Amino acid sequence: MKWSTSFFTSSIGRKITMSLTGLFLISFLLVHMTINALIFVNDGGKTFTIGAHFMATNPVIRTIEILLIVGFLVHIIQGLLIWKKNRNARPIQYAYKTETPNVTWYSRSMTLLGTLLLLFLVIHTSNFWIPNRINQFQTGEELPLYEMMIEKFQNPLEVIIYTFGCFTLFWHLYHGFKSALVSLGIYHSGWNPLLSLLCNIFSVTVPLVLMMMPISIYVGWLK
């Protein structure tokens, strides 16, 4: 037990935990995007409602939701602990800040991007997931999510919030996906070109699909 505690509180252990939980959350994003993309069938929400009903009632999915919440919490806590440790390692900042060569702004801003994503997640779950789950517990029925989306994204402010959230998700994924593979020793010279391509495609596709949903509703492409 002592060795496991030491491992998960060490720098390497925290990075591995961050990587594993990050990849788990990435797998959720893929499923989430796929189900939500059913809205583009543009059949008045019939296909989307079938997919949403499956996600809301399947016992396996409902169990995974619990693991998902735990994964989010662990990912966030470990990320904050890593940030705090790095900050404490340099309590006095340089008088003149110099940029580290080959270090991008988004890699230096992962904590900020993660915080913005957390705020976006709070808004998103408050709009749809939480009300739907509460209604399920109280009445055993699901809310009309498709109609709720159509109504919600008539508001330009909501569309702007979701668009900004998706841009933030892109930058977080763009660095985080590759970083997770590096920490786990998966990202190496023999696989670099292919893995880099797959990571980049995923990092662009998921936020783009999610972003196009509120935009398409707002401009009237989906009704």
Mean pLDDT of the chain: 84
pLDDT tens digits, residue range 140-164?
899 999 999 999 999 999 999 999 9
Give 80's pLDDT tier (boundaries 50, 70, 90). confident
Average pLDDT over residues 94-118: 65
Q: Are 177 and 21 in contact (CB under 8 A)?
A: no
Q: Are 138 and 76 in contact (CB under 8 A)?
A: no
What is the model's pLDDT at position 153?
96
User: Model-level pTM?
Assistant: 0.85
Q: Are 29 and 207 in contact (CB under 8 A)?
A: no
CATH, range 11-92+109-218: 1.20.1300.10
Average pLDDT over residues 39-51: 94
Q: Are 48 and 38 in contact (CB under 8 A)?
A: yes
In the chain, domain spans: 11-92+109-218
pLDDT > 80? residue 99: no
CA 34 to chain centre: 14
Phi, psi of 215 (to 5 degrees): -65, -45
Give residue for tokens 């030491």.
Answer: 6
Give 203's pLDDT tier (boundaries 50, 70, 90). very high
What is the model's pLDDT at position 102?
58
- Of 74, 165, 171, 177, the C-alpha closest to 121 is 165
